[in-house]
């Protein structure tokens, strides 16, 4: 337990937020910056809110070093709506797109895209329960594909790309829902980067879309207004009422990341946390991480004891000690420790301490 009797929360999302941000939001909840109102009560057209949204975008641009020829959109509909918006906007020439299947979310994106065009699976690790990430080469991709789609971090299976696939002139689209802002990325290598907010960014309800300008404006006439990126780009994400409170909290998270050293420092901390946990798991006799070493996520660490009843006992006893949400996804069981940006090293150390005790007691 830490300040305010808060637990160490290993939830995969919505997940832990930085405490200083929560404290600031609390302090500003009833009267934001002398406006006499809560951000929850503010018109999205007010000068106060416009400033909040503009600053949030500017800080995200600085953090990720987003080039000027990319638009940043703050949308609703969760990550799931992007499974549809991407094909509806990007199947603009041949209506072909190539997908890499690395887990449940990639598969859902693929299935949704199949409703709109000629979609090919160019690589998959499904036969090995998604325990590794395929290496994609340019030759694997159809020359006339409208885009290539990847999921950079696979929240459920605990894998991550350790490289950016080379796709030449074909736009690369990446779902970064569970690792955005965890480390620096070269945005210019991507056509679209999108991410649901509820892991490293802020509360659920907002989706960030970073899109290269030439990919905007290709939705067909039949595409509903809300699902057309151009509508949002032309209206600075204010075509309709945006997720105001989520944008505000995300903006505070961006400021906090900047103030704590930006993405280089974040990457260093995240790597240290993950290395410590994986090192312990690999050295233990009870726990096993099924993921190929070179493809391990630094955000979601999955492990098992090999005995489903013991796994359940682990999760229950950990919870009693204030280490919560350690159950693996309902589809695969086992354990999963999501150690996103806001999980402090002390949380990881407390988890390892508990794992040692549990191992000693259950030999």
Ligand X SMILES: Cc1ncc(COP(=O)(O)O)c(C=O)c1O
User: Which residues contact ligand X (rule: CB under 6 A)?
Assistant: 13, 78-80, 105, 151, 155, 175, 177-178, 196
Residue 105 annotated to the active site: yes
Query: Hey, what are 285's tokens?
Result: 């006799």
- Give the integer Cα–Cα distance in Å for 320 and 324: 8
Cβ contact 25:249 at 8 Å: yes
Catalytic residue among 105, 194, 228, 295: 105
- E strand residue ranges, the chain: 8-9, 70-75, 96-101, 118-124, 147-151, 153-154, 159-160, 172-175, 192-196, 207-212, 300-303, 323-324, 335-338
Q: 153: Cβ–Cβ under 8 A, 6 or more apart, which residues?
A: 159, 160, 161, 176, 177, 178, 179, 182, 297, 299, 300
Q: Residue with the closest Cβ to ligand X?
A: 79
- C-beta of 78 vs 262, nearer to ligand X: 78
Residue 74 CA to residue 239 CA, distance in Å, equals: 11
Residue 65 CA to residue 19 CA, distance in Å, equals 25
Q: Quick one: 133 or 355, whose CB is closer to ligand X?
A: 133
Residue nearer to ligand X on the CB measure, 155 or 167: 155
Least Å from the CB of residue 338 to ligand X: 10
* Nearest CB to ligand X, comparing residues 9 and 177: 177
Do the beta carbons of residue 172 and residue 147 sit within 8 Å? yes
Q: Which residues pair with 302 in a beta bridge?
A: 336
Query: Residue 139's CB: how many other CB atoms inside 10 A?
Result: 6
User: Shortest distance, CB of residue 86 to ligand X, whole angstroms?
Assistant: 12
CB of 12 to ligand X, least distance (A): 6
- The residue whose two tokens read 């709506």 is 81
Which C-beta is closer to ligand X: that of 37 or that of 80?
80
CB of 312 to ligand X, least distance (A): 22
Residue 13 Cβ, how far from ligand X at the closest point, in Å? 5
* Shortest reach from residue 317's CB to ligand X, in Å: 26
Q: Which is nearer to ligand X, 197 or 266 (CB)?
A: 197
Catalytic one of 194, 199, 228, 295: 199
The structure tokens 């057309």 sit at 228
Structure tokens of 174? Answer: 């990446």
Q: What are phi and psi of 50, to 5 degrees?
A: -55, -40
Catalytic residue among 98, 132, 146, 175: 175
Closest distance to ligand X from the beta carbon of 195 (Å) = 8
Tell me whether residue 201 or residue 223 sits nearer to ligand X (CB atom). Answer: 201
Q: Tell me whether residue 84 is exposed, middle or buried, using C-beta atoms within 10 angstroms of its C-beta: 0 to 12, 13 to 18, 19 or more.
A: middle
Q: Dump the DSSP string for 177-202.
A: TTTTTSS---GGG-SEEEEESTTTTS
**Catalytic positions:** 105, 175, 199
């Amino acid at each position: 337990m830490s300040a305010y009797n808060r637990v160490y929360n290993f939830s995969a999302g919505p997940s832990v937020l930085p405490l200083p941000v929560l404290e600031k939001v609390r302090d500003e909840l009833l009267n934001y910056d002398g406006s006499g109102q809560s951000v929850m009560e503010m018109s999205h057209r007010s000068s106060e809110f416009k400033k909040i949204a503009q600053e949030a975008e500017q800080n995200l641009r600085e953090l990720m070093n987003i080039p000027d020829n990319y638009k940043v959109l703050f949308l609703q509909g969760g990550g799931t709506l992007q499974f549809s918006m991407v094909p509806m906007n990007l199947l603009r020439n041949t209506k072909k797109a190539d997908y890499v299947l690395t887990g449940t979310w990639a598969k859902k994106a693929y299935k949704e895209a199949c409703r709109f065009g000629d979609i090919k699976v160019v690589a998959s690790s499904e036969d090995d329960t998604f325990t590794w990430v395929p290496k994609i080469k340019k030759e694997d991709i159809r020359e006339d594909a409208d885009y290539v789609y990847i999921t950079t971090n696979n929240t459920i299976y605990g894998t991550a790309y350790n490289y950016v696939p080379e796709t030449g002139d074909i736009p690369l689209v990446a779902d970064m829902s569970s690792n955005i802002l965890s480390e620096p990325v070269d945005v210019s290598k991507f056509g679209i980067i999108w991410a649901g907010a509820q892991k490293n960014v802020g509360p659920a309800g907002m989706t960030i879309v970073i899109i290269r300008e030439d990919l905007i404006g290709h939705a067909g006439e039949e595409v509903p207004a809300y699902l057309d990126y151009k509508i949002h780009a032309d209206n600075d994400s204010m075509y309709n009422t945006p997720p105001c409170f989520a944008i505000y909290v995300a903006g505070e998270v961006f400021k906090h990341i900047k103030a704590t050293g930006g993405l280089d420092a974040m990457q260093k901390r995240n790597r240290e946390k993950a290395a410590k946990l994986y090192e312990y798991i690999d050295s233990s006799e009870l726990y096993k991480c099924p993921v190929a070493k070179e493809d391990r996520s630094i955000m979601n660490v999955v492990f098992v004891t090999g005995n489903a009843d013991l796994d359940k006992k682990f999760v229950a006893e950990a919870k009693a000690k204030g280490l919560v949400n350690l159950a693996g996804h309902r589809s695969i069981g086992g354990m999963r420790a999501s150690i996103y940006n806001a999980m402090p090293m002390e949380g990881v150390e407390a988890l390892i301490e508990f794992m040692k005790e549990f191992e000693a007691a259950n030999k």
